[in-house]
């Protein structure tokens, strides 16, 4: 299982891949390795306790926080299949406006 911060759609980018015969290191990611993930559910992580203390004033404060996380299960790891990227088509429209220069003293 893989624990990550709360997200709506599970996806993973692969940095390093090792089999019995070979080792692959991405620069920074490996595009030909895909990971199929299944989201098992959302829950809260362990509590983190923060304590504050101010000297000579009898001031003490204790705060706790629980981060929401998603629990994911790795179904399969595929090699040799190009990862599908969402293609975004970017079009730019430029307008060329002629500049009119007026010389002083001439009409």
Check pLDDT > 60 for residue 104: no
Choose among 35, 42, 32: nearest CA to 7.
42
pLDDT tens readout for residues 45-102: 999 999 999 999 999 999 999 998 888 888 888 887 665 554 444 444 545 555 555 5
Which 3 state secondary structure label does DSSP give 15? strand
For residue range 9-60, list pLDDT tens digits in order.
677 788 888 888 888 888 888 888 888 888 888 889 999 999 999 999 999 9
Domain ranges of the chain: 2-79
What was the pLDDT predicted at 82? 63
Structure confidence at residue 58 (pLDDT)? 93
**Which residues, at least 6 apart from 25, have a Cβ–Cβ distance to it below 8 Å?**
15, 16
CA angle, 47 then 48 then 52, to 5°:
135
Record the pTM.
0.52
């Amino acid at each position: 299982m893989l624990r990550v911060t709360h997200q709506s759609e599970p996806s993973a980018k692969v940095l390093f891949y090792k089999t019995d015969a070979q080792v692959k290191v991405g620069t920074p990611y490996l595009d030909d390795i895909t990971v199929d993930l299944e989201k098992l559910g959302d829950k809260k992580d362990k509590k983190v306790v923060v304590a504050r203390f101010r000297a000579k004033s009898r001031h003490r404060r204790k705060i706790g926080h629980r981060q929401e996380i998603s629990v994911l299960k790795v179904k399969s790891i595929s090699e040799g299949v190009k990862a599908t990227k969402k293609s975004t088509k970017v079009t730019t429209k430029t307008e060329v406006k002629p500049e009119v220069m007026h010389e002083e003293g001439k009409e």
